[in-house]
Chains A and B, each alone.
Chain A
Amino acid sequence: MFDRENIFLPPTFENYLKAIWNLSQEGKVVRVKDLADALNLRGGTVVSGLKNLAQKGLVVHHHYGHIELTQAGKIAAMEVIQKHSVLYDFLRNGLKVDEKTAEMDACSMEHYISKETYHRLIHFLEYIKEKLSMEQLHKFLEEKVNPNTIRLSEVEDDTLVLVKSIEAPKNIKQKLMDLGILPNKLIFKEKEAPLGDPIEIICGGIHISLGKREAEKILVIKKETIKLSKAPRGNFYISFLKASSIQAKKLTDLGIVPGKIVEVLENNEGSIKLKIDGNILILDESIGSFIYLEAYHDKK
């Protein structure tokens, strides 16, 4: 760790150098106040920090308040900035970590990574980018990290899915959320358009047409379900009501609430007899076709 001309700089000081460099790149004359603002520190703290850096010969703090990096300081600043961009590249484009996490992790890793690891990392990146299919790598990573997760665009028709995450850009994500497509919500993939794109989904009882390019950004987990109208006798979880909020309300008031356990007693053509919360209900088949059930595994 002492390999930068045998000077070890604590992370905060590296941030000083980075901030001074960035400010001077903007063409400004750097003063204590600017630096304090950029680092979100008090002026006094910054002054003592600068003193320390000046002793190490990295910074010149002129009497009239003007701060400058020395040649050695510039080199040190550049090194940190370069490390940051390499690490960010590795995290974001190699490991496919999301933007924010990549930025934050790069910010903390840049201070502690050894020269050796850093150099090897640069060549490692070079190698995987050239020799490996990044797409396959990312797919592999995704499958390992989020098992069972697939893209909404790949889900077959007539399937219930649980939204895991939305990876779309901010404005698209917001629009999706405004329509009720939120993480941990159940949505129903109804069908594809005749030409294969877009797809139709049902969310909160509302039908939405979604381009495949947008659906690709939504990661979901498939749910194995069966319609109540087709359920054999036995116990099930109520999973999803494919109905508008108002229709759903009618069902939930009968006790048909997602998450509850229902016992199908009889399923004749046309009507279904079921038991829920100890009450016996008889439902029409057409209503039964809007209620989706999941298998219930009795833990004995």
Chain B
Amino acid sequence: MTKNKKIFGIIGIPNSGKTTFFNSLTGLHQHTGNWPGVTVEKKVGIMERDGLEVELVDLPGILSLSANSLDEKISRDFLLKGEADGFVLIVDALNLERGLYLISQLQELEIPLILVLNKIDKAREAEFSIDIKGLEALLNIPVFPCVATREEGIEEIKRAIFSGKFKILKKKTNYGEDFEKIIYKVEKFLEENFKGIEKGRFFALKLLEEDKEFSEKLKMEEKYPQLKELIEKEAFLFCSRFHYKDLAEFISEKRYGFASGILNEVLKDYSLKSKIHFSNQIDLVLTHKLFGIPFFIAVLYLLFSLVFYIGNPAGNFIKKIFEISGKNLETFFLSLSFPKILSSLIVNGILNGVGTVIQFLPNIFLLFFFISLLEDSGYFTRISFLFDKFMHLIGLHGKAILPMILGFGCNVPAIMGTRILEEERDRILTILIIPFLSCSARLPIYVLFAGIFFPEREGLVILSLYLFGMLLSFISARFFQKFLIKKPLSPMIMELPPYHIPSFKGALLHSWIRAKLFLKKASTVILAGVLVIWFLSSFPSGVEYGSKDSFAGKIGELISPLLKPLGFGFYQAALALLFGIVAKEVVVGTFGVLFSPNPLKEILPNYFTPLSAFSFMLISLIYIPCISTIAMIKREAGLKYALILILYTLALGWLISFIFYQTGLLFFKIAH
């Protein structure tokens, strides 16, 4: 039996609670991917009832149909393409005017719609009501009130979707007789001279608005010059007669006129005693000239502590479970006289590998839980407001500071966290510079080497590495902008939505979706990487795991001459760095295994001088971030950027260690 399937799009203004609404409609029945060709997230939810399957596509938030960013373009293209059987438009009841402004443009598209008024409880709190029946009559589409955070009214909306209650908007924006004549002329000209133009009125308005994308579509046509001339002439006459700079100004003004006209008719029962100052009072503190930034640091500290102080022990606990079960399994296999190679595959390869991945899970879950709470509360946009100037120095928006700071904890969630940035350009740039921020996994290396070679000055040495990493990330940001990501920083025009109490359930759902994604996508790549290393360490058969005779050992020997000019041209260092690609903590562990039974504190000074030790710490900071990070970069930014970053970090790491070590040598020679 073939099922009936329908596709509906969910559109809305940013901050209208669209995501919460989408989540309460579809719950866990959603999958996340990317829109074709770009790294903008596409969320699709599935609902089923009485043999009818409904696919809900969550579209990026839009203010209008003039697509300025990639996100907005995706939404507009989807609206125009006609793939969907209808659209659910979600509007914040407290911000109805903005919603009506969008409606004034949707009407020209003549698409089937349902209007959802979200946050209707807030409207009740603010002591006013919206005349739903009146609004339905005015617009000629069904209107449903709802409170997405509490799932109020969701069932009615579901029913309406399944029974196909979508209708086409009737009320049109009144642009006045003079302008309607112009629209008609252009529409007629399009109809007569261009083939295949649907929604002529919409197209004509877009051309009159000077929307480049639409004129670009016609540029190749034979009659385009005449069309252009017609529009320019009409626009000139109209604008000089009514004193506008361009038609877009006039059109926007009329659309706002439409919105406030309807608003006036449907607002009822308002009283003056409402709590209108709640949001402003909070903002006085959060973006205060003096306290704003300290407050952010406090919030950040709290977030950091919660993510890593709860997450790390939980992660270690998970890792322990894997280790213990690994050991038990090993003895169990031994008792069964299992082939040694097979038990090694399961224990050292798979179990170890999976453990390495899953130990990040608590961090990621917690991180996204708190991020989601903060984002929902409206504080995120304020962070952007606070730090925009500072981040401009390196060519990014203020918001990017959040994932970057998280990078000091662990690069993996930090890279996932770049999803909070709207622009693809900003996301990729941030992703590319996060790996230079010393994550907690690099700390054991610093602690080990600084402790042995720079006693009493460990703190200073470690701090210098952290600072140097930051410097590198800033320089790299500039470098990538010069050679790789040439698109300029998008303008800073951002709505600061009112604060409100975030939804706990929404945050849980959000973090669960992220955690699932992390497990599914990243683990495949990481597992493969771990298995390769296991293979290299265990073969040819019969060698001791990771010893000099194994393939890995041989590769180590092969690489070590390359490391000689950096001050550590022996196979143990090469192998430690090679294995460190799995996870940087492994570097220390590898030294431990390779030099056993000698304690590292005694044996390392035979191999390293303080100079080469610092050089080793430098390369550990810079060279290829761990497999988990690479896998995440591939997922978030694509294979191209993952490969670029591998090459860039390898080259840069080698070069900086080389320069540092060689100048150091030279310096000592002169000094002596």
User: Residues on A close to B: CB < 8 A?
Assistant: 37-38, 40, 98, 100, 104, 165-166, 168, 170-180, 182-183, 191-198, 200, 204, 206-211, 213-214, 243-247, 249-251, 253-254, 284, 286-287, 290
Contact = CB atoms under 8 A, between A and B. Distances in A.
Contact of A249 (B248, B264, B491): B264
Nearest to A183: B249
Given A40-B226, A193-B389, A249-B264, A209 B274 contact: no
B319 to A, nearest CB: 41
Given A178-B252, A195-B386, A211-B388, A250 B494 contact: no
**Most chain-A CB neighbours within 10 Å: which of B101, B209, B244, B385?**
B385
Interface stretch (B287-295, B449-457, B643-651): B287-295
Interface in B562-598: none
Q: Which 9 pairs of residues, A with B, have the shortest CB-CB distance?
A: A211-B492, A207-B496, A195-B389, A177-B252, A245-B97, A197-B389, A178-B64, A178-B63, A174-B66
Contacts of A100: 246
Contact of A209 (B229, B277, B293, B384): B384
A72 B482 CA distance: 48
Interface stretch (B143-151, B170-178, B265-273, B518-526): B265-273
A211 B493 CA distance: 7
B180 interface: no
Given A200-B385, A209-B384, A176 B493 contact: yes
A246 B92 CA distance: 12
A200 B96 contact: no
B421 interface: no
B386 A174 contact: no
Contacts of B229: 40
Contact of B389 (A104, A183, A196, A208): A196
Nearest to B105: A178
A171 B128 contact: no
Contacts, number: 157
B245 A165 contact: yes
Contacts of B68: 171-172, 174-175
B388 A245 contact: no
Given A172-B68, A174-B252, A183-B249, 7 more contacts: A40-B226, A172-B491, A178-B63, A182-B253, A193-B388, A208-B495, A246-B128
B591 to A, nearest CB: 44
B495 A194 contact: no
Given A174-B248, A249-B264, A254-B272, A197 B392 contact: yes
A246 B293 CA distance: 32
- Of listed A166, A171, A200, residue having the most chain B CB within 10 A: A171
A247 B491 contact: no
B381 interface: yes
By secondary structure, the A interface counts as mixed
Interface residues of B, number: 63
Contacts of A204: 97
Nearest to A192: B289
Contact of B95 (A173, A176, A213, A244): A244
Contacts of B272: 250-251, 254, 284, 287
B133 interface: no
B557 to A, nearest CB: 53
8 contacts: A170-B248, A171-B212, A178-B64, A195-B387, A207-B498, A210-B493, A246-B96, A246-B126
Nearest to B64: A178
B210 interface: yes
Contacts of B498: 207
Contacts of A177: 248-249, 252
Contacts of B274: 247, 250
Interface string B47-82: 000000000000000011010100000000000000
B390 A195 contact: yes
A182 B249 CA distance: 7
Contacts of A37: 225-226
Contacts of A38: 225
Contacts of B276: 243-244, 247, 290
B371 to A, nearest CB: 20
B263 interface: yes
A250 B253 contact: no
B385 A198 contact: yes
Nearest to A208: B495
B367 interface: no
Instruction: Among A172, A209, A251, A284, find the residue whose CB has the most chain B CB atoms closer than 10 A.
Output: A209
Nearest to B387: A195
Nearest to A245: B97
Contacts of B101: 178
Nearest to B497: A207
B115 interface: no
Interface in B93-149: 94-98, 101, 123, 126, 128
B388 A197 contact: yes
Contact of A245 (B63, B96, B211, B497): B96
**Residue from A180, A194, A200, A210 having most chain B Cβ neighbours under 10 A:** A194
Contacts of A198: 385, 388-389, 492
Nearest to B378: A207
Contacts of B263: 245-246, 249
A166 B252 CA distance: 13
Nearest to B210: A170
A244 B96 CA distance: 10
Contact of A194 (B252, B288, B381): B288
Nearest to B97: A245
Given A193-B388, A193-B389, A196-B389, A209 B270 contact: no
Contact of A170 (B212, B289, B292, B491): B212
A244 to B, nearest CB: 7
B128 A194 contact: no
A209 B381 contact: yes
Most chain A beta-carbon neighbours within 10 Å: one of B226, B267, B272: B272
Q: Which of B98, B263, B292, B381 has the most chain A CB atoms closer than 10 A to its own CB?
A: B98
B101 to A, nearest CB: 7
Contact of B270 (A171, A207, A214, A246): A246
Given A178-B252, A193-B287, A208 B390 contact: no
A270 B289 CA distance: 28
B256 interface: yes
Given A182-B252, A182-B256, A246-B128, A209 B385 contact: yes
A104 B240 CA distance: 13
Nearest to B101: A178
B260 interface: yes
Contacts of B271: 250
A56 to B, nearest CB: 27
B392 A249 contact: no
B491 A200 contact: no
Nearest to B256: A180
A253 B248 CA distance: 31
Contacts of B388: 193, 195, 197-198, 209, 211
Interface centre among B68, B252, B270 (most CB of A within 10 A): B252
Nearest to A203: B495
A207 B494 CA distance: 9
A167 B112 CA distance: 37
Given A170-B210, A207-B495, A249 B252 contact: no
Given A183-B245, A183-B249, A209-B385, A246 B267 contact: yes
Contacts of A206: 95, 98, 495
A211 B492 CA distance: 5
A253 B385 contact: no
Contacts of B126: 246-247
Interface string B353-391: 000000000000000000000000000010011111110
